Structure formats: C-alpha cells, structure tokens
Chains A and B, each alone.
Chain A
Amino acid sequence: MFLTREQERMLNGEYGWAVAKAMAIIVKTGEVLGASRLVEISHAHVSGVSYTNILDPGLDFVRRLFLSGGRARVYTTINPGCVDYSGLSSLIDGSFNEKQAVIDESLIRMGFKPVFTCIPYYHRPPSQGEFLAWGESSAIAVANSYYGASSNREGGPLALAAALTGYTYYAGLHIPENRVARVVVRVDPSASRNPGALGLWIGENIREIPLLKGFNPPLWDLKIMLAASAASGSHAFIAVEKITPRGFYKVDPLEKVEVEWRDLEKYIGLEPSGGSVLGYLGCPHLHPWEFHLVYEYVKRRGRLPGRNRLLLTIPLEVYERYRDKVLYLRSLGVDVAAGTCPVVSRLTRRFDHLVTNSGKAVFYLSKQLKINYYLTETRRVLEIVYA
C-alpha cells in the first residue's frame, strides 16, 4: 500500500504507540480489502462504546489507547453507552456505571464529542462527497444512502483508529465504481408502512446493493429501514430513488424483484393479548422531531394504564434540551433513557411482550431477551401500550 511520508511516520511509531497501533489496524484491514492508499476523513463515529457490548477486553483496548497518548485528530462522535445518562430511567440497568465511566472518561479525554448517540448525523449531517469512517451499522447506511457521503461498515476499533489518525483505507464504498445498484426492488405501498419489517426482509434476502423504487419515507422511517437491513444483513448502502443523491451511485440491474406485505408477515411476530407489554421507540435514537410527536401523543392520552411500560431512547443532547418534557413524560409513567438503548445495555425487569417499530431492536432483543415481539408502525406501538 502507498503511504505518504507522514502516514509512514505514524506507522513507525514517531507519533507514539497509540497512533502506530491505530495505523497498523487501518493499514492491515485496508490491505486485506484491496486498498492501495489511505484517504483523509472529515468525521469519525466510534461504535463499541458500551461496556456490556465490549466487556473488559474492549475497555482495556480503549483505555490503553488513551493512556498511551491517543488523541482525536478529526471531529469524532461516539455511540451510546450502557447506562442512562439522565440517571432517571428505571428500566435501564445502571449496575455497570463504574466500568462504563472508565470507557467514557478515556473517550472524552481523547477529545471525542460525548454525544452518546447512534444518530451522529443529528449533530453533524455529513455533506455530499465527504469521506467518513463510521462504526454503527445504521448510521453508516444513513450516511451513504441519505447524505451521499461515503463510509464503509467500519468495525468499532477501526473507526477509533481512524479518529486517532484522521485516515481510513481507500476501498469499498469510497470508490465510486463500487457504488453500483444491482437489484431493483419495487416496494409495494403495502410494504412501505412497516419500514422495520421491510429492512429485515432486505437484509435477509438481498446481498447486492439494491435500488428501492416506490419507497419515499421521511428520514425517521428511512433510518428504521436501514438499521434493520444492516442488522439482518450487511447493507452499508441502499440506493433509494428520489432520496439518495443521484451522482452518488450508478444502476446496472441484473435482477428485479418486488416486495409486498405478505413477504414481510414472517418478520412481524404476534400482537400481544394479555401479559406485560414493553413498548419501545428509539432504535435508532429518536430525533427531536419524533420525540415531540410522541410527546404530544402521550400528553393527550395521559397516564399509562396497567402494567404496560413505554420506553423511549434519545440522544443525550435531546434530553438536555428538553428536560422539562422528559420529566413530564416520566410523571405519566413513560420511561425515557438518554445516551443508551436496550440493545447496548441490560434491562432491570422482564416483560412478556416487546412492541416496537424497530426491526433492529427485534433482531437483537429477541435473541438477548428471548421475548415475544410485535413489529409494527410507530403509531400502533403507542396505541397498544395505551390499550
């Protein structure tokens, strides 16, 4: 691989152990993936922040990079941790507070922005054509598919390495010739109404880059679909007609498929009848706009009935800005957790049913909690917890 003199000096340890270690991870990963050079990035987003996800090995790795002098060389944001940073949630288990604090302190003192969110594009929407090194599979797909800025599906440690060097390897989706949609997917209107299930279907059934036609949702529903397809599959980029900037990709279709409601039915689970229900919205995190919609609905309906609970997960900054609203929601029995989510943390209690709009949450939580689930649209989640 071609390295500039500066990059070579980084690799050789002239910038310290942390930078050399980071550079080695990038160069080796890049060589395996066929990169001939590195590319400068404008934003790194680091995943693998939660203690319950990365455990002691990850904690040690992050801590060692910090203690040996690793510092952000580029704008860097971080993913959710495993504790609720508002300190008010009774559903998110806070028992790993101390371990999480060690990780957080290391990341913050390396100069990363402590946003603790999986929607970094809320803090800094990338502009078209930028090179990014993002972890967090759902955010990567939004960067490519919605903003037309390129990121590969970087593993957590590689995104961290990119933050410490300012570079990533030039391969995969950074190269325009690789951004070619091969499968045209016509989405029937019946399938558009459940973006979480649509995403799970795409992830399981399509391997090439798809071009979606007939699916034209707002960003909030698009992120639900992309998050699900990046969980059940490995999609970093889904071209969406009328949404993805046109210059970002080419179309060379080998195959055409159609998806309609009956294809999605196997992903939605069962609507609960009896038993305790956990309604969950915020995977990926709620954007303020969605938060306000939920807030208005809850305000109108009042206190949650019976044993049902509703959990919302939001970026830390949304909590800080709308603290009064969060407290009001809590007074009505709605649990709001900031800077975390159930996928990267543990819950304090068990429920019989999970009802959510998130295919990603279903993919991971049905495995972790062995819980019955029902995957439906946002409004239906709210109606069910209030039933």
Chain B
Amino acid sequence: MSTLRLQVKVLVDGDCRAPLYLYNGYVSFFGEVDPVNGLHRATGEGISGKAFAFKGGRGSTVGSYVIYALKYYGKQPACLLVEEVEPIIVTGCVMADIPLFQVEKGFLSKIGFKRGLLVHERGSNYVEIEYE
C-alpha cells in the first residue's frame, strides 16, 4: 500500500473519503451520466459514493441540473477531481454541495494505477490517494 499526496486547488470544500474512479476523458453530465441510477454511461461504471476523477466538463449546460439530481436521488459522487474547471460543473457542485478539487493538467495520463482510495479533509489544500 502506497500513499500519494497531491496538491489540489480546492474549489468547493468538504470532507471526502471514497474509492477513486478514474476516467481519462471529458464528461457531459447531461447525456453521459444517468442521475437516477448514478451511472457513467460511457463505461457503465457507478459513480455514486466514489471520488470521480476526470479531465473536465463538456457538452450541455443542463449538466448542473444533472449533478443536482444525483444528489436529490442520493446517487451523488463523494467528490469530483478535475484537471480543467468550467462553470457548468462548478454551479452543479455549489448547488449540490459536492466537494470539487482541481489537479494539474496531465495528472490522469501520468497516473500509474487504476484503483485507490481518495481522502480529503475540509480546510486542507491536498488530497491523499492510497493505492496498491
């Protein structure tokens, strides 16, 4: 078991301790995420209760409502980790009170493992990832 400590920009703060789901691509929450079942349609993976890491947002401005709907249906991710920030995701996370962190560009391409546990404590400016 190793631990990676990563400086992040905390955009929406909050505690997070959750299994990591890495997706090295962009996500349109509208169309590509099913809010009722908490699924990322591109891979079929569940995002509910996970630390969902992806490159950034794309697509529809309805995405904010989909993030809000995830929370409403109790299927929200524990936190989001992105390389690029955009208003649609920020507004969704602000409304749904889902922690949102930004990491440096290229993080998802460089990272050498697939699974891990992401931990962030409110007030700190880093996340720790425990992986095998």
Contacts and interface: CB of A to CB of B under 8 A. Distances in A.
Given A55-B36, A153-B87, A157-B95, A48 B69 contact: no
A172 interface: yes
B64 A234 contact: no
Contact of B72 (A33, A56, A154): A56
A336 to B, nearest CB: 24
A57 interface: yes
A33 B87 contact: yes
B84 to A, nearest CB: 8
A357 interface: no
B90 A157 contact: no
B59 interface: yes
Contact of A48 (B35, B57, B64): B64
A58 B69 CA distance: 7
A57 B68 contact: yes
A56 B68 CA distance: 11
Interface residues of A, number: 40
Contact of A234 (B11, B58, B90): B58
A232 B59 contact: yes
Given A57-B68, A61-B68, A172-B87, A47 B59 contact: no
A206 B36 CA distance: 32
Nearest to A157: B64
A61 B95 CA distance: 10
B11 to A, nearest CB: 5
B30 interface: yes
A352 B85 CA distance: 38
Interface in B43-65: 56-65
Contact of A364 (B31, B84, B94): B31
Nearest to A61: B68
B72 A158 contact: no
Interface in B6-39: 11-12, 26, 28, 30-32, 35-36
B64 A367 contact: no
Most chain B beta carbons < 10 A, residue from A48, A56, A140 = A48
Nearest to A366: B31
A32 B65 contact: no
B132 interface: no
Given A48-B62, A231-B60, A234-B58, A153 B88 contact: yes
Contacts of B89: 155
Given A155-B88, A158-B87, A135 B61 contact: yes
A32, A152, A232, A363 pick with most chain B CB within 10 angstroms = A32
Given A137-B59, A137-B60, A29 B68 contact: no
B117 to A, nearest CB: 25
B73 to A, nearest CB: 7
24 contacts: A29-B90, A33-B85, A33-B87, A48-B62, A53-B62, A56-B72, A57-B72, A60-B72, A61-B95, A135-B62, A137-B61, A152-B87, A154-B61, A154-B87, A155-B61, A155-B65, A156-B62, A156-B64, A156-B65, A157-B65, A233-B58, A234-B26, A234-B56, A368-B31
Interface of A: 25, 28-29, 32-33, 47-48, 50, 53-58, 60-61, 135-137, 140, 152-159, 172, 203, 207, 230-234, 363-364, 367-368
Interface of B: 11-12, 26, 28, 30-32, 35-36, 41, 56-65, 68-69, 71-73, 84-92, 94-95, 100
Given A53-B65, A155-B90, A363-B59, 5 more contacts: A25-B91, A32-B85, A53-B62, A57-B69, A203-B58
